[in-house]
């Protein structure tokens, strides 16, 4: 089994490129009303805690209380996160 890397997040980190197993809290979204509404509809809003379950090519799959969501690279670039715990 591969060893899991702990994410050491700098201020202003985004969801893009976070390693599998990272436990993160969404802190904000860059973009307009449409992007925020789209993410809100997927259950991703500021304050939501997620776990990165898959990461490939910049896109990620995250799990939260409401289920799992696949987020493409472009969208992941706009989701700001902080490490939990």
With a CB cutoff of 8 Å and minimum separation 6, the contacts of 33 are: none
pLDDT beneath 50, residues of the chain: 1-8
Contacts of 73 (CB under 8 A, 6+ apart): 16, 57, 58, 59
User: What architecture is domain 23-83?
Assistant: Roll (2.30)
Answer yes or no: pTM beyond 0.75: yes
Per-residue confidence (pLDDT) for residue 57, from 0 to 100: 85
- Roughly how many angstroms between the first and final C-alpha of the chain, as a whole number? 24
* Encoded tokens for 9: 């997040």
């Amino acid at each position: 089994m591969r060893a899991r890397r702990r994410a050491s997040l700098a201020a202003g980190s985004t969801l893009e490129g976070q390693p599998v197993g990272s436990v993160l809290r969404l802190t904000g979204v860059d973009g307009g009303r449409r992007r925020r509404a789209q993410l809100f509809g997927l259950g991703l809003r500021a304050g939501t805690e997620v776990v990165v379950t898959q990461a490939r090519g910049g896109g990620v799959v995250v799990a939260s209380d409401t289920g799992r969501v696949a987020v493409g690279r472009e969208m992941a670039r706009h989701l700001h996160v902080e490490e939990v715990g």
